[in-house]
Every structure is written in structure tokens, then in C-alpha cells.
Amino acid sequence: MNSLAASATLAASATSTGEAVQFWILGTVAVVGALCTILMKKAVHSALCLAATMIVLAIFYLANGAYFLGIVQVVVYTGAIMMLFLFVVMLVGVSAADSLTETLKGQRWWAAACGLGFGILLIAGIGNASLHSFTGLGQANAGGNVQGLAALIFTKYVFAFEITGALLITAAVGAMLLTHRERTERALTQREMAEARVRAGVQLPPLPAPGVYARHNAVDIPGLLPDGTTSDLTVNRTLKDRGQIRDVSAEAIADIKALEQRSADRLGRDEEEAKR
């Protein structure tokens, strides 16, 4: 809202103090987020840092009078695009860290030096430009930011707008085409799979279900064999590899013991009597 007050006057030379404070605090956050994006080892951490930077940028858009773009930045960038990134990170593997072997010698340092030089060039260029006063969006946003944008999109930029529509459709079709996998073999029918299973003769009936005594039916609890040991057939092998299986066989026996103890107490029988 600072920007509204600031942009109300035409050709101002400075924004309000509140906006300056906001800029310096959030600008630091944005730069730190950007640096973390390129320095974090894991792709998930990079994605989260980038999301933080994008949210800060959304606030800057709002401060600059771009109310529509600020909301779109949150919805489209941090909402859709970053989530798409996270999906792909999960798909490709969270542990897919960078390889630290350098194929080109000293490439990282050269890249950092190039970046530094480029940054100095850009900042010096802006510093040399004569930008002492600014107009502000008070007049342009007078009829509402969204209305102003719509008036421009559907008159002056209508052709570009239609081309972006074609671009989006092409991108959607292209993504489907790229990720589609053609099936090279015919899918096995149920009959064929049953015959293959009988021929292999390893496990003919369906696998036994997990769970113990109808008390626990969670997938991470193996079923018990008649001798009280757990059966590996009843739980998923992935869970076993991760060591996420809970063995409750002793727990069930302890529960029954406690139940018998309680009923014995209630009926007034002592241990000796119960044994007789």
C-alpha cells in the first residue's frame, strides 16, 4: 500500500520509508534464497529456497503496483511450477545429488568469475543510467490494475496473447508426447499370468495378508505363523528393506496375558487356583 501513496504523485523521486525498509529486509531474503538455490547440494532444498525467493518477488510485485502479477506469481510460480519441480525431484530421486568430479578443470571458479564480471557489468550499466525520478503507476492503475492489464491484453497485445494460447497447447501436447512410453510387447492376459504362476510353482494362492489376530491390520505388521514367528510373505519387501516393519507378536501375547490376569483378579482367583 506504500506504493499507492508513493505513486499518487507524478514524477516522484523517492518511495516511502516503509517500502525502503521492506525492500532491504526482503531483498536480503531474496538474495540469500537465490544463493541457497545454487549452493544447496540436494535438489529438494534448492527447490524450497527458490520458492522462498519467488514469494519475496511476489511481494515486490505487489509493492510495485503490479497487483495482478503478484497474485499470479504466488499461484502460478510457487503454486504450480515449483510443485511441478518437486514432483519431478521425487520422480527422479531425492538423493540425486550433484557429482562433484570436475570434467572441465577449474570450471566452477571460471563460472563464478564470469558471473561476478557479468554482475558488475549489469550493475554498472544501471548505475550509469540517469534514473533519478520515476512516474509511478498512480495514473495507469487508476481504473484498477486488472482492468488496465485486460484493456491492453485484449487490444494492443491480442495477437501475442493468442499466440501464447497456441504455445501452451503445443507445450501440453509436447509434454505428453515426450513422457509417453510406447508398449513394445502385448500385455499378458490374466489367464497367461495364472498359467505362468502355476508353472513357476512358487506361490500359487494369493499372498497372506498382514496383521495379527484381527487386532492390527496395518501393512507394516507381519502376520504370525503357527509357531509365533513372523512371516515375511505378508509384508511388502520395500518396507522390509527400509527396516520399517513393526513386530507386534510379543505384544499380542503380553496383551493376552494381561487379559487373563485381569479376569483372574476380577473372579477372585489367585494364581494357584487358576493352575488347578
Is residue 10 within the footprint of another protein (CB under 8 A)? Answer: yes
Distance CA 9, CA 139 (A): 9
Is residue 112 within the footprint of another protein (CB under 8 A)? Answer: yes
Q: Which is nearer to another protein, 5 or 219 (CB)?
A: 5
Is residue 29 within the footprint of another protein (CB under 8 A)? Answer: no
CB-side neighbour CA atoms (13 Å) of 26: 18
Is residue 25 within the footprint of another protein (CB under 8 A)? Answer: no
Going residue by residue from 170 to 209, which x/- string records binding to another protein, judged by CB under 8 A?
xxx-xx--xx-x----------------------------
Q: Which is nearer to another protein, 10 or 218 (CB)?
A: 10
Is residue 119 within the footprint of another protein (CB under 8 A)? Answer: yes
Q: Which of residues 54-73 bind another protein (CB under 8 A)?
A: 54, 57, 60-61, 64-66, 68-69, 72-73
Tell me which residue of 163, 172, 194, 141 sits closest to 4, measured CA to CA. Answer: 141
Tell me which residue of 250, 243, 251, 227 sits closest to 235, measured CA to CA. Answer: 243
Is residue 99 within the footprint of another protein (CB under 8 A)? Answer: yes
Taking the complex as a whole, the smallest distance from the CB of residue 6 to another protein amounts, in Å, to 9
